[in-house]
Amino acid sequence: MRIRFLNAGDSHGEGLVGIVEGLPAGVRLRTATIERALMRRRRSYGRSSRQMVERDEVKILSGVWKMHTTGAPVAILIPNRGRVVQGRRGGALGTIPRPGHADLPGVLKYGHDTIPPVSERASARSTAMRVAIGSIAGKVLHELGVDVLGHVLSIGNVCAAPPTGRDLRALRRRIERSSVFTADGSAARKMVNVIHQARAAGNSIGGSVEVIATGLAAGIGSHVMWDRKLDARLSAATMSIQSVKAVAIGDGLSSHLLPGIDAHDAMTIRGAGVVRSSNHAGGIEGGMTNGEPVIVRAFAKPIPTAQRRAKTFNLRTLKDTSSPYVRSDTCVIPALSVIAEMVVSWELLRAVLDKFGGDHIDDTRAALAHYRKRVKQRLRKPGTR
């Protein structure tokens, strides 16, 4: 059975709940691993005061025994500490929909009289559980030699220099020293400044992030059916994150500007492996990994809630008014780099387990090793050992 998850919970309800089914047994898992990822999401620069309220203390309710997964569903609870907004439990919004949010289409779709039944569930608070679940996926991938890392590419009109090299451990150290989770120290200072400017203007600011995954064998994903293509699955999962409006695999937003053959990654055999001249494809060709680092980029609009009010109307009176302001972030892009990392980790794990299976992590590891050996033999030049 394919790995899957369900999550539930509202922004200001009792808490967030997640259930993960299909994890192999034998993976060492501690709450500290999940809480570390949640802390990265929470402490990023540009967040609202709510991040000082929440602690994101994780409770693993089932599926783990003696700090190892058992093969049974893993159930997770993250209690909400912030349950009151402007003196009201369960959200402060009434009947005034905010442009850019799910408020209006959700109310019309489900026939609600007020906004909270929609806004509470649509809130990006739900990404806390996606980060928790993605951190588990990242732990399993790490057991299989795969490393995944997200970082900030741009905030507003400030762009970071693209990182070089494939050593994600060194890159992670540089990113963790930055309050805006970018590896470019010079750009980081400018990013902090533009966030300050947006906050002073009562506005919000968007940007872009990149997720890099290394250590993936070639051939994960599939070309045989549209819904099994890995780039499509990664794009859909990343696009589902709140505020993300565009996703690119590799140089997907610029490769159309290159002439024919220059847009592709020339290759040659060296030893028993393939060496590429570039990675425009972002590690995916024909819906499958090709052995190069997988690169996913996400581009997010400024969040629509800001101190500056937008024109809207009241659902009860149908008269024009201004959108309500509730405590909000100025910039979510550093947090988005963490969320996108976890979402990509989850989708990559699904694809890896689709191919290699395994009720126990040792079974998965053995299947992967056998596959790598077969591929290496296939690429060995005649007459070589």
What is the count of structural domains for the chain? 1
Q: Are 59 and 35 in contact (CB under 8 A)?
A: no
Q: What is the pLDDT of residue 260?
A: 86
- 347 lies in some domain: yes
Q: What is the pLDDT of residue 357?
A: 96
**Structural domain for 85, as ranges:** 4-378
- 383 lies in some domain: no
Q: What is the pLDDT of residue 383?
A: 62
Q: How far is residue 130 CA from its own chain's centroid?
A: 8
pLDDT in tens, the chain (385 residues): 589 999 999 998 999 999 999 999 999 999 999 999 999 998 877 776 666 666 789 999 999 999 999 999 999 999 998 766 655 665 557 899 999 999 999 999 999 999 999 999 999 999 999 999 999 999 999 999 999 999 999 999 999 998 877 788 899 999 999 999 999 999 999 999 999 999 999 889 999 999 999 999 999 999 999 999 999 999 999 999 999 999 999 999 999 898 888 899 999 998 878 999 999 999 999 999 999 999 999 999 998 877 778 899 999 999 999 988 776 789 999 999 999 999 999 999 999 999 999 999 999 999 999 999 999 999 887 765 5
The alpha carbon dihedral of 182, 188, 194, 199 has a sign of positive
Distance of alpha carbon 324 from alpha carbon 265, whole angstroms: 50
Q: What is the pLDDT of residues 227-282, one digit of tens each?
A: 999 999 999 999 999 999 999 999 999 998 988 888 999 999 988 789 999 999 99
In sequence order, the β-bridge partners of residue 155 are 158, 207
Distance of alpha carbon 237 from alpha carbon 219, whole angstroms: 20
**pTM over the 0.85 mark:** yes
- 384 lies in some domain: no
- 208 lies in some domain: yes
Q: What is the pLDDT of residue 38?
A: 95
Distance of alpha carbon 255 from alpha carbon 252, whole angstroms: 6
Enter the tokens of residue 257.
């500007």
Distances (CA, A) of 225 to 222, 235, 296: 7, 16, 21
CATH of the domain at 302: 3.60.150.10
- 385 lies in some domain: no
- 74 lies in some domain: yes
Distance of alpha carbon 98 from alpha carbon 102, whole angstroms: 8
Q: What is the pLDDT of residue 344?
A: 98
In sequence order, the β-bridge partners of residue 17 are 8, 77
- 251 lies in some domain: yes
- 306 lies in some domain: yes
Q: Are 221 and 282 in contact (CB under 8 A)?
A: no
Q: What is the pLDDT of residue 87?
A: 57
Closest CA to 11 of 76, 133, 107, 93: 93
Distance of alpha carbon 346 from alpha carbon 341, whole angstroms: 9
